[in-house]
Amino acid sequence: MAIFNKCHALFLGFLVFAIVGAAGYSVNQGDYFQHQYTFIVVKSLLLCLSIGYARWFDMISFGVLSKKQLLLFIGIFLLTVLVNIGYHAFFSVASGASAQHLEKTSNGLSLSFIVNVTVLAPIHEELLFRGLLQGAFFDNSWLGLVLTSSLFSFMHEPYDVPSFFYYLLGGLLLGFAYKKSQNLWVSTLVHMFYNAWPLLYYL
């Protein structure tokens, strides 16, 4: 039964990765100024359905934050900011994700891009990497945390070793937040606030 549950979580993770990503791209073709509201609605609906399905089968833990979890969120978020500042003081980061960010922001910020970066993408990634993979498939183990964080970094298309370790560190911090809290909202909120921080700086 445990093997079936793991395979179920892995299969759902694959579907979430493929369908949510493909649906978003099919709406706007990678242009965040095209069909903005349709993009937001379609991706939001698919994510809500995915989360509801995962919760129905007890694959993820997604609840109201306790005081301890709120403090954990604040602590991990501040730590990610400090790590980010320190890392950029010594290394440059180049990846497919950052290149896309620079390309989009250079053309101006659209509503769908801001919503995607600060809300939809963090929910999508946390559901997949922390919830379904680290939590449901790897039983929230330390080995699962490291392996999932490595995959998280790889999926951000780092161009060199320093860039890989940059995303790996981010994945480890998010994974630690989920492992310690057992609540996907903690890592998701850290991810949301972390992604919003450079946008606020840009604005």
Beta bridge pairs of residue 95:
158
The more confidently predicted of residues 104 and 42 is 42
Contact present, 77 and 194 (Cβ < 8 Å): yes
85 is in which domain, residue-wise? 2-202
pLDDT computed for residue 194 by the predictor:
92
Q: pLDDT category, 109, cuts 50, 70, 90?
A: confident
Mean pLDDT across the stretch 157-173?
93
Which pTM was predicted?
Answer: 0.93
The secondary structure of 61-130, three-state, reads CCCCCCHHHHHHHHHHHHHHHHHHHHHHHHCCCCEHHHHHHHHHHHCCCCHHHHHHHHHHHHHHHHHHHH
Q: How far apart are CA 136 and CA 146, in angstroms?
A: 15
Domain count of the chain?
1
The more confidently predicted of residues 202 and 122 is 122
Q: Provide the token pair at 7.
A: 């395979």
Q: Does position 196 have pLDDT exceeding 60, yes or no?
A: yes
